[in-house]
Structure 1
Amino acid sequence: MKSSDSSLLHRIKSILLIRKPWFRKIVKTIWTLFFIFMIGTPLYVYLVMENPWNLFGPLPSLRAIENPENDFSSEVISADGASLGRYFWYHRSQVTYEQLPPLLVRTLVISEDHRFYEHAGMDFWSYLRVLKGVITLNAQGGGSTLTQQTAKNLFRTRGKELQGKLGALGGPVELLISKTKEWIIAYELEKTFTKEEIIALYLNTVPFNNNAYGIKVAAETYFGKQPKELTIPEAALLVGMLQGTTRFNPIDYPERARDKRNDVLFKLYQHSYISEAQYDSLAALPLQLNFSVQNQNHGIATYFRRILEAEMQAWCKEHGYNLYESGLKIYTTIDSRMQRLGEEAMAEHMRKLQRDFDQAWGKRNPWVSEHGVEMKDFLERKVKRTDTYKALVKRYGEKSDSVKIELNRKKHMRIFTWRGDRDTLFSTMDSVRYYYRFLQTGMVSMDPRTGAIKAWVGGINHVYFKYDHVRQAKRQPGSTFKAFVYGKAIEDGYSPCDKFMDLSPSIKVNGTVYRVPNSNGTFGSGTKYTLRQALARSLNTVTMQLMEQEKPENVVAFARRMGITSDLDPVYSLGLGTSDVSLYEMVGAYSSFVNLGVYIKPYYITRIEDRYGNVLENFSTEKKQATDERTAYKMIHMLRGGVEEEGGGSRALSPAVTEHNEVGGKTGTTDNASDGWFIGITPNLVTGVWVGGDERSIHFPSWSFGSGGRSALPIFDKYMSRVYRHSELGYPKGQFMRPATGLGEGATLDCPEETEEVEEEFKIVE
Structure 2
Amino acid sequence: MKLLLKRKWIKWAVIVGVSVVGFFALIYASVFLGVFGKLPTKEDLSSIKQAEATQLLDKNGKLIGKYYIYDRQPLEFEDIPQHLIDALVATEDVRFYEHDGVDNVSLLRVFIKNIILGDKSAGGGSTITLQLAKNLFGRKNYVVFSMLINKFKESIIAKRIEDIYSKNDILTMYFNTVPFPDNTYGIESASRKFFNKPAIHLNYSEAAALIGTLKATSYYNPRLHRERTQLRRDVVFQQMYKYDYLTEEEIDSLSAQELVLNYKSFNHDVGLAPYFRESVKKELKIILDTLKKPDGEPYDLYRDGLVVHTTLDSTMQALAETSMKEHLAGLQRAHEQSYGKYAPWNSKKVVNSAIKTLPAYKTYKSQGLTEKQILDSLSVKRKTELFQWKGDTIKNVSAIDSLKHYLKFLNTGMLSVEPQTGAIRTYIGGIDYRFFKYDHVSQSERQVGSTFKPFVYTAAIEDGMKPCTYFSLSAVTYTDFDDWTPTNAGKEEDDEHLNYNLETALSQSVNTIAVKVLNKVGIEKVVEQAAKMGIQKELPEEPSLALGVAEINLKELTGAYASYVNDSKPVKLYAITKITDKNGHVIAEFKPDIAEEQAYSDYTREVMLQIMQSTVNRGTATRLRSSYNLKNDIAGKTGTTQNNKDGWFVGITPKLVTVAWVGNDNHSIGFKTTGIGQGANSALPIFAKFYQKLNADSQFNTITKSKFETPSDAVLQDLDCEPEKRDGFLKRLFGNKKKERKFKRK
TM-score (normalised: structure 2): 0.87
2:127 maps to which of 145, 149, 154: 145
Shift of 1:670: 0.6
State the one-letter code of the partner of 2:88: L
Q: 1:112 to 1:661 in 2, by over 3 A?
A: closer
Q: 1:47 aligns with which of 33, 38, 47?
A: 33
Shift of 1:752: 4.5
Displacement after TM superposition at 1:245 (Å) = 1.3
Question: Among 56, 66, 77, which residue is 1:86 paired with?
Answer: 66
Q: Who is 2:295 aligned against?
A: none
Alignment-derived partner of residue 750 in structure 1: 720
Which residue of structure 2 aligns with residue 764 of structure 1?
741
SS in 2 for 1:689: strand
Match of 1:65 among 45, 54, 57: 45
Asked if 1:208 corresponds to 2:180, the answer is: yes
- How far 1:636 moved relative to its partner? 1.6
2: distance between equivalents of 1:376 and 1:608?
Answer: 51
Relative distance call for 1:289 and 1:681 in structure 2 (3 A) is closer
- What is the Cα deviation at residue 675 of structure 1? 0.4
Query: In structure 2, the residue corresponding to 1:331 is in which secondary structure?
Result: strand
The yes-or-no answer on 1:559 pairing with 2:526 is no
| Residue deviations 1:638-661 (CA, integer Å, cap 9, x gap) | 22231244xx21222126988765
Question: Match of 2:677, SS?
Answer: coil
Aligned to 2:238: 266
- The superposition leaves residues 682-727 of structure 1 with CA deviations (integer Å, 9 ceiling, x where unpaired) of 2222111111112111211112321111111122222223223333
Task: Name the structure 1 match of 2:332.
Answer: 354
Match for residue 100 of structure 2 among 120, 141, 148: 120
Is the Cα–Cα contact under 8 Å of residues 657 and 720 in structure 1 kept in the other structure? Answer: no
**Alpha carbons 1:446, 1:453 under 8 Å: kept:** yes
Q: 1:84 to 1:104 in 2, by over 3 A?
A: same
Q: Secondary structure at the match of 1:218?
A: helix
Alignment of 1:21-420 (within 5 A): 44=30, 47-48=33-34, 55-60=35-40, 62=42, 64-132=44-112, 133-134=114-115, 140-154=122-136, 156-158=137-139, 169-172=142-145, 174-253=146-225, 257-275=229-247, 287-319=259-291, 320-367=298-345, 375-386=347-358, 397-399=369-371, 404=376, 407=379, 409=381, 411-420=382-391
Over residues 62-120 of structure 1, what are the superposed CA-to-partner deviations in whole Å (9 max), with x where a residue is unaligned?
55522322222222212233222222222222222222222221111111111111122
The CA deviation string for residues 142-186 of structure 1, in whole angstroms up to 9 with x for no partner, is 3432122222223x3326xxxxxxx6x4442x4444444433432
* Superposition deviation, residue 735 in structure 1: 3.3
Aligned counterparts of 1:225 and 1:57: Cα–Cα separation in 2 = 40
How many Å separate the matches in 2 of 1:537 and 1:753? 11
State the alpha-carbon separation in 2 of the partners of residues 579 and 58 from structure 1: 64
Superposed displacement of residue 408, structure 1:
5.8
The CA deviation at 1:195 is 1.0
Shift of 1:30: 7.2
1:728 aligns with 2:699: yes
- Give the distance between the partners of 1:747 and 1:58, measured in 2 at CA: 86
Work out whether residues 275 and 439 of structure 2, in 8 Å CA contact, stay in contact via their aligned partners in 1: yes
- Which residue in 2 is equivalent to 1:631? 604
SS of 2:210's partner is helix
- Aligned equivalents of 2:61 and 2:251: distance in 1? 39
In structure 2, relative to structure 1, the CA distance for the partners of 1:478 and 1:60 (3 Å cut) is farther
Contact kept, 8 Å, 1:548 with 1:765, in 2: the verdict is no
> How many residue pairs align between the two structures?
721
Paired AA for residue 158 in structure 1: R
Q: 1:592/1:278 Cα in 2 relative to 1: closer, same or farther (>3 Å)? A: closer
Q: Aligned in 2, Cα 1:249/1:396: closer, same or farther, shift over 3 Å?
A: farther
Identical counterparts, % of pairs: 36
SS of equivalent to 1:608: strand
Give the 3 Å change call, closer, same or farther, for CA 524–697 of structure 1 in structure 2: farther
Larger Rg: 1
**SS of aligned partner of 1:570:** coil
Equivalent residue in structure 2 for 1:543, among 514, 519, 527? 514
The answer to whether the Cα contact below 8 Å between 2:450 and 2:547 also exists between their aligned partners in 1 is yes
Deviations 1:10-58 (A, max 9, x none): xxxxxx99x97987887788789888988x688545522xxxxxx5334
Secondary structure, aligned partner of 1:188: helix
User: Contact 2:479–2:740 (CA<8 Å) still a contact in 1?
Assistant: no
SS at match of 1:182: helix
Change (3 A) 1:457 1:129: same
Residue 51 of structure 1 aligns with which residue? none
Distance of 1:679 and 1:745 partners within structure 2 = 23
Deviates more, 1:415-424 or 1:479-488: 415-424
Deviation at 1:478, TM superposition (A): 0.4
Amino acid at match of 2:299: Y
Distance (Å, rounded) in 2 between the aligned partners of 1:82 and 1:738: 37
Tell me how far 1:466 sits from its aligned partner.
2.3
Letter in 2 for 1:589: A
Corresponding letter in the other structure for 1:221? K
- Given the two structures, how large is their TM-score scaled by the length of structure 1? 0.85
CA gap of 1:171–1:379, structure 2 versus 1, over 3 A, is farther
SS of 2:239 mapped into structure 1: helix
Q: Is the partner of 2:272 in helix, strand or coil?
A: coil
Are 2:557 and 1:586 equivalent residues in the alignment? yes
Q: 1:765 to 1:744 in 2, by over 3 A?
A: same
**1:640 aligns to what?**
613
Where 2:676 maps in the other structure, the secondary structure is coil
Q: Does structure 1 conserve the Cα–Cα contact (< 8 Å) formed by 2:479 and 2:742?
A: yes
1:463 aligns with 2:449: no
